[in-house]
A and B are shown apart, each in its own frame.
Chain A
Amino acid sequence: MSGTMKRRLVLVAMELWLPAVVVAGWWIWSSHTTDPFFPPLPDILERFRQMWLFSLFGSDVLPSLRNLAIGFAIASVAGVALGMLVGRNVWLRALTEPLTHFMRSTPAVAIVPIFVLVLGFGASMKISIIAVAAVFPTLIATIDGVRSLDPALGDTVRVYRLSRRQRIFQVLLPSAGPQIFAGLQVSLQTAFVVMIASEMLGSSQGIGALTLKAQQAFEVKDMWAGIVLLGVLGYLINLLFLLVRRRWLAWYDGARKVTNS
């Protein structure tokens, strides 16, 4: 009993020592260095608290996250719906294939200047560019997922004369689920990058804008506080996504575990 306890403690220690050393090393090194670009870590954390908890939270953090959420939601729904439509229709797929691949290959950040030109710097520009940029990974993953439907499943659907509604929600969506979620994860990462880029390129509001402005004004601590917040957000958003994915695809992960063991 105490043997397994000890073993578990060793494992936890093995995972934790390096992060602890990194943070402690950064703390000590930055407190002694005179390099203007690397202010003491305690100062950065103090600025972090002053800026984000919570004086600028309502004015800059919340709008960024709201744009991200709305843009990603639009992209997800549109990507899955269009993907189901195109994936099930041979003609439509052949018609749109080169175009979809061209759009997917175009870097999202390169489209931001165009959206700024057309829609200005407001929230509608940011939400639109996030939605447009994030739609393609989900769209393409859904097309692939729907296409690779097990033929036996398709026959079963026909034999049981499932209604269109049943076919979509009980057969097509679940069977393409793993691929759709893989696409959604890339879409979410794209959405996060474009959220930052849309704020950095000329806007004055949002976490990205404040961080880049701080850099340009040599407010090094403010810049670091922004980088730390964006880093933590990037990590948490991905974590949240993985939790949701695990709930929705529990049946799939479980089935895979059984076949693999």
Chain B
Amino acid sequence: MNASIRRYGLGVLGIVVALTVWQLLVTGPLATKPFATVPAIGRALRTFAGEASFWQSLGQTLEVALLGLLLSVVVGLALGVVVGLSDTAYRSLRLVTEFLKPIPPIVILPLLVLVLGPTPRMGVFLVFFGGVFILMTQTANGVADLDPVAAETARSYRLTRRQRVLQLIVPTALPFVATGVRITAAAALVIALVSEIVGGAPGLGKDMVLAQLSGSYDQIYALVVVFGLLGMLLNGILGFAERRLLFWHASVRTEVSP
């Protein structure tokens, strides 16, 4: 108890020290450079909170990230199950996915902007491209991880296809899928912002570029704070959800194979 209070205290102290150093730097040696003071950034954040346009931009960014994520989960899962269950499908798709997987979405951004324009749809597709291969390979690995004994047991008990999928394949693949979703979801927000900052789609990222063009430094830094907090919030939610899911999974596994 005492130790955890000290830990949090030190964390808060770290933040205070960082803010103080920033404030001293931007009012002192860096005063003529494009920075903003801590109070100015705080004021900009308060102004954002009262502006409908800020919340609308936030909604647009989140919507693009979530839609793209949803799409990549649905398609990635479907493809992953097929690929994980069939050796032929696995080998056939391997080279194509291995080539496309390490290519970051920003590479195809110019093509998407050309075809779809600087629209939310472009952002959704970019998020989709960034996630679908990760989810597909994660799911395929998870499905292929099927315990041979469990698979044969299912066959001797003549489980129906439906039972086999729901009671055998899904529980086996779930932790792999959960890891894939966590990686993809964290990336989804980043890619949505890329589609706005570099691709010009509407949302918080575009607001940031506009703030840069108009020289509103306090707004730029306030938006960076918003992005950081959003990312932390997202990571926190995903970590929590995954712990719940894996906990459940582990309990099932110990029941199946003592």
A residues near B (Cβ < 8 Å) are 11, 14-19, 22, 37, 91, 94-99, 101-114, 116-118, 189, 192-193, 196-197, 200-201, 211-212, 214-215, 218, 220, 223-224, 226-227, 230-231, 234-235, 237-239
Contact B103 A105 (CB under 8 A): no
CA distance A113 to B91 in the complex (A): 43
Contact B95 A14 (CB under 8 A): no
Please give me the 10 A-B residue pairs with the lowest Cβ-Cβ distance, nearest first: A105-B231, A238-B102, A94-B10, A215-B110, A106-B228, A95-B14, A14-B91, A107-B190, A117-B34, A234-B103
Does B106 belong to the interface (CB within 8 Å)?
A: yes
CA distance A193 to B102 in the complex (A): 11
Contact B198 A197 (CB under 8 A): yes
Nearest-CB residue, chain B, relative to A108: B190
Chain B residues, Cβ within 8 Å of A230: 103, 107
21 contacts between A and B (CB under 8 A): A15-B91, A16-B95, A22-B96, A37-B111, A96-B14, A98-B11, A101-B235, A104-B231, A105-B228, A105-B230, A107-B193, A107-B194, A110-B223, A110-B224, A111-B224, A113-B197, A117-B217, A118-B33, A193-B106, A212-B110, A234-B102
B residues near A (Cβ < 8 Å) are 6-7, 10-15, 17-18, 33-35, 88, 91-96, 99, 102-104, 106-111, 113-115, 189-190, 193-194, 197-198, 205, 208-209, 212, 217, 220-221, 223-224, 227-232, 234-235
Contact A107 B6 (CB under 8 A): no
Nearest-CB residue, chain A, relative to B232: A105
Contact A197 B106 (CB under 8 A): yes
Chain A residues, Cβ within 8 Å of B111: 37, 215, 223-224, 227
Contact A97 B14 (CB under 8 A): yes
Contact A196 B106 (CB under 8 A): yes
Chain A residues, Cβ within 8 Å of B110: 211-212, 214-215, 223, 226-227
Given contacts A109-B193, A211-B110, contact A18 B93 (CB under 8 A): yes
Does more than half of chain A's interface fall in helix, strand or loop, or is it mixed? helix
Chain B residues, Cβ within 8 Å of A106: 224, 227-228, 231
Given contacts A18-B95, A94-B6, A107-B231, contact A99 B14 (CB under 8 A): yes
Contact A234 B104 (CB under 8 A): yes
Chain A residues, Cβ within 8 Å of B10: 91, 94-95
Partner of B212, one of A97, A113, A189: A113
Distance between B150 CB and nearest chain A CB, rounded to angstroms: 19
Chain B residues, Cβ within 8 Å of A212: 110, 198
Distance between B231 CB and nearest chain A CB, rounded to angstroms: 3
Nearest-CB residue, chain A, relative to B88: A14
Chain B residues, Cβ within 8 Å of A231: 103, 107-108
Chain A residues, Cβ within 8 Å of B93: 18
CA distance A246 to B180 in the complex (A): 23
Nearest-CB residue, chain A, relative to B87: A14
